[in-house]
Amino acid sequence: MSEQPTRRARYSSKSSSARRVGVPEGGNWGSKMVAIGAVVIAIVAVVVIGRYFYQSSQINVTPTLAEFERVADDEMRVAVDVSRKDPSLPAYCIVTALSYDKDEVGRREFLIGASDASLERFEIIIPTRKPAVAAKMYGCSSTIPSYLTEPTNGVAHQ
């Protein structure tokens, strides 16, 4: 009888259990951490997107810059159309005057009192530090700051 040579394992293993090819000894913690990180990022993204859509659906006030005109080197007249889902709630808006370099050279906050009209136009005079060439809506909110007490009169549109 001829004696057959013993087969040697191509890769040595400390344990007698079968080993998967390509998996480092001691587990695969790196890939587990990547998977956990991806799940956490996905959950955070879903929460952020959900909050954005929830908050955007709660917006009560929508401003539109209708027109603007420089009436003097230190004043700009701005017309703002404000539409509200619930006009019985007061709101306020901020409009800015911009220089040729797009620097803010004036700002005006105005309070919108409760009314029956869902669309109103407001004529605002903004005092400016330098000559203004443009105006921009900064935004509106229905959360009124405590220092705004006197409502601005608007013209209701049907």
Which of 6-10, 50-54, 74-78 has the highest mean predicted lDDT (pLDDT)? 74-78
Does the pLDDT value for residue 46 go beyond 50?
A: yes
Answer whether 125's CB lies under 8 Å from 71's CB: yes
Residue 52: its pLDDT value, please? 83
CATH for 61-156? 2.60.40
Answer whether 126's CB lies under 8 Å from 95's CB: yes
pTM of the predicted model over 0.85: no
Does the pLDDT value for residue 112 go beyond 80?
A: yes
CA distances from residue 155 to 37, 117, 121, 141, 152 in whole angstroms, order as listed: 54, 9, 5, 19, 10
142 pLDDT tier (thresholds 50, 70, 90): confident
60 pLDDT tier (thresholds 50, 70, 90): confident
The full set of domain ranges for the chain reads 28-58, 61-156
18 pLDDT tier (thresholds 50, 70, 90): low
15 pLDDT tier (thresholds 50, 70, 90): low
